[in-house]
Amino acid sequence: ELKVEQNPLFLSMQEGKNYTIYCNYSTTSDRLYWYRQDPGKSLESLFVLLSNGAVKQEGRLMASLDTKARLSTLHITAAVHDLSATYFCAVAGSYNTDKLIFGTGTRLQVFP
């Protein structure tokens, strides 16, 4: 059974600082996604990572995937308050399936 874990669960960081969120998963998969959720809102897709070594960047966020280590990272550079949200990674259940299993989520709070 595929399990997806994120750490940390909670992250409080000062504006301007850098930090990394980690996503580990238990079985082989060919696809990994990152989502953002604001309080009381739906989930918004951020990144799709489809191969080993894939790296995607948008603004202050950069995501990478290491399929051999079954690890993805979401790196935050020079955090700003607007990045405060909960971030989820999601992993496809197995090859040739659309089933997505979500991680526990990382609640990020950026303060001045």
Partner 1 sequence: DAGVIQSPRHEVTEMGQEVTLRCKPISGHNSLFWYRQTMMRGLELLIYFNNNVPIDDSGMPEDRFSAKMPNASFSTLKIQPSEPRDSAVYFCASSLGQGRAFFGQGTRLTVV
Can you give the binding site for partner 1, defined by CB under 8 A?
31, 33, 41-45, 48, 88, 90, 92-93, 97-105
- Count CB atoms within 10 A of the CB of residue 90: 20
- Count CB atoms within 10 A of the CB of residue 2: 15
Tell me how far, at minimum, the Cβ of 8 lies from partner 1, in Å.
15
d(C-alpha 92, C-alpha 95), whole Å: 7
Name the residue nearer to partner 1 (CB basis): 58 or 112: 58
Name the residue nearer to partner 1 (CB basis): 14 or 45: 45
Name the residue nearer to partner 1 (CB basis): 51 or 112: 51
Tell me how far, at minimum, the Cβ of 102 lies from partner 1, in Å.
4
For residue 55, which amino acid is it? V
Spatial contact of 12 and 65, defined as CB atoms under 8 Å apart = no
